[in-house]
Structure 1
C-alpha cells in the first residue's frame, strides 16, 4: 500500500500533546462550525427585524451556512492530504475569523448571508480535518471510539450553544454573537498553532499517489463505498426525523413548539449516550461487530416505531420519541464506526475520505430534511415518516451485507497496522 511510510518529519520532531490536550483540540476544531450555526438561531427574528427583512430570508443565514459546511469538506479534506493538517486548519480558521468580522459589520442581509457562507467554508475545515487527524494518530480499532468521544464532548457544547446565543443577543444585541465566534475562532487557531504537531503521513512521491490516485483508489474500493454509504444513510435518519418532527408534534398532535423542543432534546441526549457506550465497548470489539450491533438496534427501533404508528400509539409524543431514542443510541454506533472504517481504507488519504463522506452527509441531509418536512406536513399520522426510517435502516444494513468485503480484507488491514506499530511508525 503506497504512502504508508510513517508520518512527516515535522510530526516526528514535534512533541506530542497529552491525550487530554489532544482531545480538547479535536473537540474545539470539530465543534467551532456547528456551535456557530446554532448560536445564531435564537437571534434570527431580531436579526430579521433589525435588517428590515422577512424571517424566511433571514433563515438563509442558516441554510446557506449548511451549504458552506458541505462544500468546505470536499475541498479542505484533499488539501489537508496534500499540504498537511496544520496549514489547512489554520487557513480555514483564518477565513472563519475574517468572515466573522464581515458578519459583524454587515449592513444588509445579503452581505450577512454571504459572510455566513464563508464563515462555514472556513469553520468546517475543523470538522473534516479532525477525523483525518484521529486516523493519523490512532490504529484502526481505536478510531471509532475516538470519533465517538469527540462527538460526545462536542454535543454538550452544541446543546448549550442556542442558550448562549440567546443570552448574548438579549444582553448585547445580535452582532455580539459574531464577536464571540470570532474570538473563539482566534483562540482555537492559536491553540492549534502552539500545541498541534503535523500529523499527516508522509506521501509517496509517485504522482499516482496524489489526489487523483487517492480518488481512484477510494472510489474503486467496495469497502470504502460501503462504509461511506452506511454512515451517510444512517445520518439521513437524523435529518429525516428532524425535518418531520415539528410537523408531527405541533400540527398532527396539537402540541406547542416548546414541548416539541423538549421532546426533540431527548433524541440528542440519546445520541450522546450512544456515543459514550461506543467509547466503552470499542476496546473489546471490532468496528464491524459494533456496526452490526448498531444496525440491529437501529432496525429494531425503527420497526417498533412503525408498529406503534400502525397501531395509532404514535399520536402521543412519549411513544414516538421513546422508541426514537433507541434508534438514536444505535445510530451513534453505526455512524462513528462506519466513519472509522471509511477513513481507514486508505489511511494516507484520510482527509479526502473524510471530506467526501462529510460532503455527502451534509448535501443529502439538506434534501432529506426537506423530504422529512414533506412527510410530516402532508400526512395526518407519523406512519410515512416511520416507513422512511425503516427503509433507511434497511439500506444501511444492505451496504454492510452486499458491499463490505469479507474478513480477509479487514485482516489484511490489521496486519499492515501491526507491522507499522512494530516498526514504530504509528
Structure 2
C-alpha cells in the first residue's frame, strides 16, 4: 500500500483530498508529539516519584536524560533505515516497542527498572518522531511543507498543553504508575491508527541502499551542507533552551515558588498554548508577511529576549508573574522556530529525508539532554534555568539569522 508520487515529486496540498489531509495531520501530529507527550505527562509526578521509589532527585531526573538520549540515538538509526526500507514498517515496529516499554515503566519496582524501560520506550518513540517529518517531506515541499508543518503544530502542540494538565489531575486521584498505563494505551491506539490509515509514502523506486558506506556518504553530504547544519543547530539549540525549562520547571516552580502540581500543570498548559498559537500564526504569515528565513530570524530573536528576561527576573528576585511572561515568550517561539527551520533544512534533501530528519532530531535531543544535565548539575533554581536557556538561545540566533549565502 503506497502513495505514489508522479515523477518522484512531492505533491502539494491539492494532491490530497480534504478528509485524507485531515487524517494525515491527526496521525502525523500525534506521532511527532510522542517525545513531548512521553516527557510532559509525568513531569508533575517527578518529586513524588523520588519518594515513592526511594530514589534521589538526580536518579529520577535521569529518567528524562535516558529517554532523551535514547530518542536521539533511535532517530539516527531509524531515519536512514526508512530511506531504504520505507516508512510504514518501521513505524509499526516502533509503536509496538513503545507500547510494551510503557507498560514496563508502569510496572517498574525500582528506579533501575524504570531507567531500563524508559530507554526501550525512547527507541519506540524515536520512530514516530523522525518518521513523521520524513513522511511530511515525502508528500510536501516548499511553502506547502511549511504550512503543513504549521498545521501539525496544532496537534503536536496539544501534548505540552494537555499532558501536564492530565498528569497533574490524575495524580490527585491515583499514582504516577497510571500515567504510564495511559501512555501504553496511547501507543496501542496509534499503532492501530497507522496500521489502518497511513499507507507507505516512499515508493520502492525512490529508496536508497542501507549499506554502511552509503549511509556514511549520505551523512557526510549532509554535514558538508553549511546551510543545513546551521539551521539544524539553530533549531536544536532553541529546543534545548525549551527543554531546560521542561526538565527543571517542576522543581523551580513547585519547590522554588510553591506551586501545587495542579497549578504547575496549568502554567505548563499556557506555554503549550503559546506554541500552538504561534505555530498557527506562522503558517498564516509565511508567504504573506515574510519568508521562512525572515520569520525564523524574528522567532530566534524573541527566544533570546525571553531567555534573558527569565535570567534577569530570577537574579533580581522579580515577582513570579514577570518570570512567567518571559518564559512564555521564549517557550512559545518553539513552534515557529521548528517549523521554519525544518522546512528550510529539508528543502534540498527530499531524496534522503529520513537521514536528514534523523540528523536533525538526533541533534535536537542530544543538545536537549546536555542542557537538562547542566540544569541538574548546576542547581534546580530559576537563575540556573535562565542562564542555561540564554547559553542556548544566543548562539541559536547567531547561527539561524538570515544570510544571503551559505555556500
Interval of TM-score (by shorter of Structure 1 and Structure 2): 0.7 to 0.9
**C-alpha separation in 2, matches of 1:44 and 1:204:** 43
Query: TM-score when scaled to structure 2?
Result: 0.81
CA gap of 1:119–1:17, structure 2 versus 1, over 3 A, is farther
Instruction: Tell me the residue number matched to 1:84.
Output: 86
Alpha-carbon separation, structure 1, partners of 2:101 and 2:252: 37
C-alpha contact (below 8 Å) 1:275/1:332 kept by paired residues: yes
Match of 2:405 in 1: 406
Deviation string, structure 1 residues 80-123 (Cα, Å, up to 9, x no partner): 11111101101111211232343455445433331222112112
What is the aligned partner in structure 1 of residue 3 from structure 2?
Answer: none
Does the 8 A contact of 1:267 with 1:321 survive in 2? no
The 3 A distance-change label for structure 1 pair 106 and 398 is closer
Mapping for residues 131-170 of structure 1, pairs under 5 Å = 131-165=133-167
Whether the aligned pair in 2 keeps the contact of 1:243 and 1:371 (CA below 8 Å) is no
Kindly indicate whether residue 347 of structure 2 is the aligned counterpart of residue 349 of structure 1: no
Q: Which residue of 2 aligns with 1:27?
A: 29
Partner of residue 77, structure 2: 75
Alpha carbons 1:200, 1:348 under 8 Å: kept: no
1-structure distance, mates of 2:108, 2:397: 47
Shift of the 75–256 alpha-carbon distance from structure 1 to 2, 3 Å rule, reads same
Write the distance in 1 (CA, Å) between the matches of 2:271 and 2:17: 40
TM-score, normalising length: structure 1: 0.78
Aligned position for 2:201: 199
Residue 321 (structure 2) aligns with: 318
Displacement of 1:22 in angstroms is 0.7
1:124 is matched with 126
Once the 2 structures are TM-superposed, how far is the Cα of residue 155 of structure 1 from its aligned partner?
Answer: 2.4
Aligned mate of 2:271, from 267, 273, 296: 267
Rounded Cα–Cα distance in structure 2 between residues aligned with 1:24 and 1:321: 30
Q: What's the CA shift string for 1:201-237, capped at 9, x where partnerless?
A: 5436688994233212111111111111111122222
Question: Does structure 1 conserve the Cα–Cα contact (< 8 Å) formed by 2:160 and 2:268?
Answer: no
Counterpart position of 1:230:
234
Q: 1:216 to 1:255 in 2, by over 3 A?
A: closer
Structure 1 residues 332, 53: closer, same or farther in 2, change over 3 A? closer
* Between 42-51 and 219-228, the greater mean CA deviation after superposition: 42-51
1:291 to 290, 296, 299: 296
Q: CA deviation at 1:247?
A: 6.8
Match of 1:280, SS?
helix
Q: 1:256 Cα shift?
A: 1.0
SS in 2 for 1:257: coil
SS at match of 1:18: helix
Bigger mean CA offset, 220-229 vs 288-297 = 288-297
CA contact (8 A) 1:222 1:405 kept: no
- The answer as to whether partners of 2:218 and 2:355 remain within 8 angstroms in 1 is yes
- Is 2:65–2:372's contact at 8 Å kept on the other side of the alignment? no
1:65 equivalent to 2:67? Answer yes
1:26-51 CA distances to partner (integer Å, 9 max, x unpaired)?
12222234323333444556666665
Distance 2:164 2:98 in 1: 19
Q: How many residues align structurally?
A: 393
Name which one, 1 or 2, has greater alpha-carbon Rg. 1
2:234–2:397 CA contact under 8 A, matched in 1: yes
Aligned CA distance change for structure 1 residues 162 and 250 (closer, same or farther; 3 Å): closer
Moved more, 48-57 or 266-275: 48-57
**For residue 394 of structure 1, what is the aligned residue in structure 2?**
394
CA gap 1:208/1:344 in 2 versus in 1, 3 angstroms: farther
Aligned-partner Cα distance in 2 for 1:298–1:223: 21
CA deviation profile, 1:52-78 (whole Å, cap 9, x unmatched)? 655654444443222222221111111
Give CA-to-partner distance per residue, 1:163-222, whole Å, 9 cap, x none: 434555665655444443333212211211121111125436688994233212111111
Measure, in 1, the Cα distance between the counterparts of 2:313 and 2:111: 44
Unaligned 5+ runs, structure 2: 1-5, 11-15
Alpha-carbon contact 1:27-1:153 (below 8 Å) kept: yes
Q: What CA distance in whole angstroms lies between the structure 2 residues aligned with 1:104 and 1:264?
A: 23
- Structure 1 portions without partners, runs of 5+: 9-13, 410-426
Gap change, CA 1:117 and 1:389, over 3 Å in 2: closer
Q: Is the 8 A contact 2:374 2:388 kept in 1?
A: no
What's the C-alpha RMSD, in Å, of the aligned pairs? 3.7
